[in-house]
Structure 1
Amino acid sequence: MTGLALAAAPPELAFGEPGWSTLAGVVDADPALVTRVEDRLAAGLGRWWELALDIHARPELGLVEYHAADALCGVLAEHGFAVTRGLAGMPTAFRAEYGGGPLTVAFTAEYDALPGIGHACGHNLIGTMAAAAGAALAAVADEAGLRVLVIGCPAEENAGGKIYLVEAGVFDDVHLAGQIHPANRDELCPATLANDTLAVSYAGKAAHASSFPERGRNAYDAITVASVAIGLLRQQLPDSVRVHTLVTDAGDAVNIIPERAAMTVKVRAADAGTLEGVTARVGDCLRAGGLAAGCAPTLRRALPRFSEIRYDRLLSRLFAQACPRFDGVDLSFVTDTGTNTAAAGAGADGGEKGGTDGAGETYTPPSGRAASTDVGNLSWVIPMIQPMLRLETGGCGNHEAAFAAASASESARLLIADGARALALSFLSAGTRHAGHYLAAGTPGRRAARRAEARAAEVLDLGVPLLDPPR
């Protein structure tokens, strides 16, 4: 169960469109506060759409999203947020704060693009919805007893920026967090996969490929052997596992036996536990390639491990309540809390996990066709959600050129309105009706227990240096 909405919501029902209906009296929060949040958001929808289009028009790779970060920080400052920039060694990371209540809620903003195809994952919309939700909720922060944060998280695609922000303590005082990801469907708790990213290089010996081939050691042969070994391994891997490769160096000329070759390998699995064993076997394949070709391999972790996501059940229910796109969807999977604890972990099939650590029960959906995200790592540390909301994409999925076009379409404008309202109102409900629950989850002892579990699963503290910014 993932909370998949089978029918698309009619566009005319979107928030902010003529005839839209208030959720005052529907969501579990003071109707007067709900109305003020909706009014603040509705008044600024045109400005938020301009921001999303501006970021979309100037796509930037992770760690160099200077224009997007400037634009987001500027509009948040206009709404009274105090902005701190340059966090965890990342110039494009930021933290914007408003209010001084005892409960701290955070909307995480992503704004990096993909090489060659721009905002084909819709991060221009993720960042805009986070800022819009934060600004709307700030309108009632004092009455609601909230401190509202928008945390700018660079480089989700190429570096795992949230992992470095967690390690730097940026989320240490946050009680709950969330964001929305655009997709080709509405899904409350979409699955994500844990993944490891490995970089392997081989050192061979150059020689003339025709005159003196016996003097060489072909580093590209090592990649060929390793790739065949990985291909044979695939038939023995669990259904959830994916292994994909990209050759990044194959020598300089066809008539020179390559003295060096390199490849990046990404390994994905339903959960961090399954991933550990698969990554070890893939590593054996990579070393075997070097042995067969007589070329010394150098193998390293290129990125921190991304983990599977753990959804906070209560916050997921509150989000569904605040998002009419999920009207009528079966929510039993986030209502029936079960008896298992989060500390027990998930099985190899990525099945249900429950938590009794005070953070609310957590849920990890069964794995299927899924991607990976550093949101997963954050969800091990604090209560977190990342629902998907539907873009009209013509049937294409994320990381396709048509998805980039959809991220600046009329459907994207409606998604921003619906998504920002649902984020703001679900966090209003969590922060007013359920503040005691989340404050209890944020005690030092409970935070430390969650971090210890994450470290044990190598979800945190891997010691992988931050990538150099792309040039």
Structure 2
Amino acid sequence: MDARQRLETTTDGRRDELVALSHGVHGDAEVGFEEHRSSQRVAETLAAGGFTVEHGVAGLDTAVVARAGSGPLRIGICAEYDALPGIGHACGHNVIAAAAVGAGLALAEVADDLGIEVVVLGTPAEEGGGGKVLMMDGGAFDGLHAAMMVHPAPFEAAQMTCLAVQHFEVRYRGRSAHASAYPQLGVNAADALTVAQVGIGLLRQHIRPTDRIHGIVTDGGDAPNIVPHRTGGTWYVRSRTLTELADLYPRVQRCFEAGALATGATVGFDEPGPAYSEFLADQALCELYTAEAEAIGRQFPSPEQEDTALAGSTDMANVSLAMPSIHPMLGIDARGAVNHQPEFTAACVTPTADRAVRDGALAMARTVVAATEDDAVRDRLLARAYEAPRRS
């Protein structure tokens, strides 16, 4: 039995276990940095499969690093398991987690024969918080030669169109007063936020077509008869690259500063996590993945059918700038729903999503085999292992 056959036998033999893991993570629906049960499920499944597991790495309670095999080529497979607030696993991170675990368990069976060490990384807080960036900074990715993951979507794609993004929180502080009897004594923090949003609306005329600015109001005051002394919001600013983001982000901040200037309120900003970068996909690994995924029955759209307008953001992009990486999209039948809709949440525990768990695991595992068989790819990957920059 060759390596690919062994991978398929292992994956299909564990299919029920992997689907149960996917459904369990989906049912937990824990948000970023709070994925205690989900990360524990991942860690326990890998430990039962013979991995050496460390839970709570890089100073993050819900980060996991699991290792199997002793070969010189070290391949990282990333598992995400954080849910979105309010609508749960509407981005299918339960599928991502189970597929990553499945790929790891399959590869562990052939790791020594292939000359690899397979490292499954449970990475918290992708939806905001930058868990992978924090894990890289903390040394959890040290020694890896390449990394990969898969992501469910309404379509199949070898790589994801990805924008750089900065998440930030804004807060205004004014002065409360009776809104009818003594309005002249108040400083209206809600007005400051209104002015800022008008400024952002006008700014949109003068930004690149690939830029994105969007946010929500998280605090609008206490009661209509009290001049709001505080308001707040959470916002995202996105651009094609970190360089373009560095140009746009201050312009957006100035809109919020204008709100403070106009009303007399004070303004402050917080960044809950690092900026996410653009994605630099490794084309050779993308081509290997596409061939292996097609070999097990996945179907990719033609270039004319691809949805090039879709553009999200991910902290896996930061990993791609540090080492060869891929982030293919696994198509599931969501009946017209798209990521970040509650209907997509429901679709992520259907038979089509369960098939994506199996196929995603097997396609990634086969891609690793293909990379070891291609001398040029293998030698290129082995030429440089990642090491986190050391701060003095």
TM-score range, shorter chain: over 0.9
Corresponding residue SS for 2:284: helix
Corresponding residue SS for 2:77: strand
Aligned to 2:384: 441
Find the aligned partners of 1:299 and 1:151 in 2 and give their Cα distance: 31
Corresponding residue SS for 2:288: helix
Change (3 A) 1:302 1:63: closer
Aligned to 1:337: none
Match among 397, 404, 407 for residue 345 of structure 2: 404
Corresponding residue SS for 1:96: strand
The AA in structure 1 aligned to 2:151 is H
Find the aligned partners of 1:68 and 1:245 in 2 and give their Cα distance: 28
Kindly indicate whether residue 340 of structure 2 is the aligned counterpart of residue 370 of structure 1: no
**Deviation, structure 1 residue 367:** 6.9
CA RMSD of aligned residues (A): 2.0
Alignment check: 8 A CA contact 1:193 1:367 kept? no
Match among 129, 153, 160 for residue 190 of structure 1: 160
Alignment check: 8 A CA contact 2:128 2:167 kept? no
Alignment check: 8 A CA contact 1:106 1:148 kept? yes
Identity fraction in percent: 39
Find the aligned partners of 2:70 and 2:359 in 1 and give their Cα distance: 27
**Deviation, structure 1 residue 289:** 0.6
Kindly indicate whether residue 31 of structure 2 is the aligned counterpart of residue 61 of structure 1: yes
Find the aligned partners of 2:42 and 2:271 in 1 and give their Cα distance: 32
Find the aligned partners of 1:76 and 1:94 in 2 and give their Cα distance: 10
Alignment check: 8 A CA contact 2:7 2:106 kept? yes
**Deviation, structure 1 residue 275:** 1.0
Tell me the number of residue pairs that the alignment of Structure 1 and Structure 2 aligns: 385
Find the aligned partners of 1:195 and 1:246 in 2 and give their Cα distance: 16
Alignment check: 8 A CA contact 1:320 1:327 kept? no
Aligned to 2:150: 180
Moved more, 97-106 or 317-326: 317-326
Find the aligned partners of 2:300 and 2:35 in 1 and give their Cα distance: 39
Find the aligned partners of 1:43 and 1:255 in 2 and give their Cα distance: 64
Corresponding residue SS for 1:57: helix
Match among 54, 59, 63 for residue 93 of structure 1: 63
Match among 322, 326, 335 for residue 381 of structure 1: 322
Q: Deviations over 1:298-326 (max 9, x none)?
A: 12323210111110011101101110156
Alignment check: 8 A CA contact 1:240 1:368 kept? no
Alignment check: 8 A CA contact 1:192 1:367 kept? no
Alignment check: 8 A CA contact 2:172 2:189 kept? yes
Find the aligned partners of 1:193 and 1:128 in 2 and give their Cα distance: 26
Corresponding residue SS for 2:62: strand
Find the aligned partners of 1:36 and 1:251 in 2 and give their Cα distance: 60
Q: Deviations over 1:160-203 (max 9, x none)?
A: 11110011011111101100000000011120111111222112
- List aligned pairs for 1:198-237, cutoff 5 A: 198-237=168-207
Alignment check: 8 A CA contact 2:156 2:300 kept? no
**Deviation, structure 1 residue 372:** 0.9
Find the aligned partners of 2:171 and 2:16 in 1 and give their Cα distance: 50
- List aligned pairs for 1:205-354, cutoff 5 A: 205-324=175-294, 325=297
Corresponding residue SS for 1:380: helix
Aligned to 1:431: 372
Corresponding residue SS for 1:149: strand
Alignment check: 8 A CA contact 1:270 1:367 kept? no
Aligned to 2:136: 166
Find the aligned partners of 1:296 and 1:138 in 2 and give their Cα distance: 56
Alignment check: 8 A CA contact 1:191 1:366 kept? no
Aligned to 2:106: 136
Corresponding residue SS for 2:85: coil
Kindly indicate whether residue 96 of structure 2 is the aligned counterpart of residue 153 of structure 1: no
Alignment check: 8 A CA contact 1:240 1:367 kept? no
Where does structure 2 lack aligned partners over 5 or more consecutive residues? none
Match among 78, 86, 89 for residue 116 of structure 1: 86
Alignment check: 8 A CA contact 1:218 1:293 kept? yes
The AA in structure 2 aligned to 1:159 is G
Aligned to 1:107: 77
Find the aligned partners of 1:60 and 1:300 in 2 and give their Cα distance: 23
Kindly indicate whether residue 17 of structure 2 is the aligned counterpart of residue 38 of structure 1: no
The AA in structure 1 aligned to 2:378 is A
The AA in structure 1 aligned to 2:329 is M
Alignment check: 8 A CA contact 1:318 1:429 kept? yes
The AA in structure 2 aligned to 1:396 is A
Q: Deviations over 1:265-313 (max 9, x none)?
A: 2111111111111111101111011000011111232321011111001
Q: Deviations over 1:92-150 (max 9, x none)?
A: 11100001111100110001111221111110000000000010011111111111110
**Deviation, structure 1 residue 329:** 6.2
Alignment check: 8 A CA contact 1:40 1:136 kept? yes
**Deviation, structure 1 residue 435:** 2.2
Match among 332, 335, 338 for residue 394 of structure 1: 335
Where does structure 1 lack aligned partners over 5 or more consecutive residues? 1-30, 332-364, 453-460, 462-471
